[in-house]
């Protein structure tokens, strides 16, 4: 079964609501007519409503970059899955390495956040990836296996089939140092194999696995050609509409 290509941008802590609208208005004509793939943007919480309104009717998916696992409560500074939905967004990134590194998001917390996202009907994009020391010590796959099992703990095979996974080696994020397409393919193939062991082969074959880490217009195509790379999660190169559009049109 063919998995639909999934091209996603992660704006991180960039763009106000007005800047998001300007970007989306610029992007829409550049990606019009591409019905064989999904395009998504993860915006800052304060830009979600405007981004969702600008994207309405275009097929462009708008998502958040994090959530709190509770529905509501005394959690100053946090936002819940239902608040994200109410703002018009339909996706959420979970467990990004910057959350894991700077904000204490560990696998157990990611699993709780995943349950909240699924309960609310948001499309989760669950991120994982080894750091440089782990790769150099030959422990990359061991780390990935643990992160996968921990972050997806409690999810059903049906949920796993529908969600998006993002392999983002920490050493390739914002460094200009992309994993080679072959390194990424090996990690994706490993992850799909582990998914099959944990959730069954049909679920594993359906899960879309994205690669993230210094994806640019000139390397997107070679990554996308690999059998287990179903899409990309783009940081820096998603901040300008023309460069993001080139990535979305990787095969043009
Ligand atoms: P860069 O594309 O800037 O390396 O960021 C990747 C990333 O973290 C996407 O989530």
Q: Which one from 96, 98, 130, 134 is the annotated catalytic residue?
A: 96
Q: Going by CA atoms, what residue is nearest to atom 5 of ligand 1?
A: 235
Q: What's the pLDDT tens digit per position in 6-22?
A: 999 999 999 999 999 99
* The model's pTM: 0.97
Q: Among 68, 65, 94, which residue's Cα sits nearest to residue 82?
A: 68
User: Sorting pLDDT into bands at 50, 70 and 90, what band is 179?
Assistant: confident
Q: Could you tell me if the CB of 212 is within 6 A of ligand 1?
A: yes
Integer Cα distance of 219 and 250 in angstroms = 9
Q: Could you tell me if the CB of 247 is within 6 A of ligand 1?
A: no
* pLDDT score, position 177: 83
**What mean pLDDT is predicted for residues 205-219?**
97
Q: Could you tell me if the CB of 234 is within 6 A of ligand 1?
A: yes
Residue 176 reports pLDDT greater than 90:
no
Ligand 1 centroid distance, CA of 174 (Å): 6
CA atoms within 13 A on the CB side of 36: 6
Q: What's the pLDDT tens digit per position in 92-148?
A: 999 999 999 999 999 999 999 999 999 999 999 999 999 999 999 999 999 999 999
Q: Which domains does the chain have, with CATH numbers?
A: 6-248 (3.20.20.70)
User: Sorting pLDDT into bands at 50, 70 and 90, what band is 1?
Assistant: low
Q: List the structure tokens of 121.
A: 């009907």
* pLDDT score, position 175: 86
Q: What's the pLDDT tens digit per position in 162-172?
A: 999 999 999 99
User: Sorting pLDDT into bands at 50, 70 and 90, what band is 194?
Assistant: very high
Q: Could you tell me if the CB of 173 is within 6 A of ligand 1?
A: yes
Q: Which of 11, 165, 175, 212 to mutate to test the pocket of ligand 1 (most atoms within 8 A of CB)?
A: 212
What rounded mean pLDDT belongs to the chain? 97
**What mean pLDDT is predicted for residues 235-243?**
98
């Amino acid at each position: 079964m063919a998995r639909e290509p999934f091209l996603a941008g992660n704006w991180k802590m960039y763009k106000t609501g007005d800047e998001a609208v300007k970007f989306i208005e610029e992007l829409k004509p550049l990606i019009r007519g591409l019905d064989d793939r999904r395009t998504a943007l993860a915006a800052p919480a304060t830009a979600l409503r405007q981004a969702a309104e600008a994207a309405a009717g275009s097929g462009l998916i708008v998502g958040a970059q994090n959530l709190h696992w509770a529905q509501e409560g005394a959690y100053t500074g946090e936002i819940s899955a239902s608040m994200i939905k109410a703002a018009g967004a339909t996706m959420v990134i979970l467990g990004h390495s910057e959350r894991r590194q700077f904000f204490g998001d560990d696998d157990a917390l990611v699993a709780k956040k995943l349950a909240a996202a699924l309960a609310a009907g948001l499309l989760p994009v669950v991120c994982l990836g080894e750091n440089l020391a782990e790769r150099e010590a030959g422990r990359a796959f061991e780390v990935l296996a643990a992160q996968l099992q921990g972050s997806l703990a409690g999810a059903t095979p049906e949920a796993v089939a529908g969600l998006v996974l993002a392999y983002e080696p920490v050493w390739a994020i914002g460094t200009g140092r992309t994993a080679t397409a072959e390194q990424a393919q090996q990690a994706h193939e490993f992850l799909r194999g582990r998914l099959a062991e944990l959730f069954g082969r049909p679920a594993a074959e359906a899960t879309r696995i994205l690669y993230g880490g210094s994806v640019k217009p000139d390397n997107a195509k070679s990554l996308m050609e690999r059998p287990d790379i179903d899409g990309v999660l783009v940081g820096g190169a998603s901040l300008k509409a023309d460069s993001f559009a080139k990535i979305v049109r990787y095969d043009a």
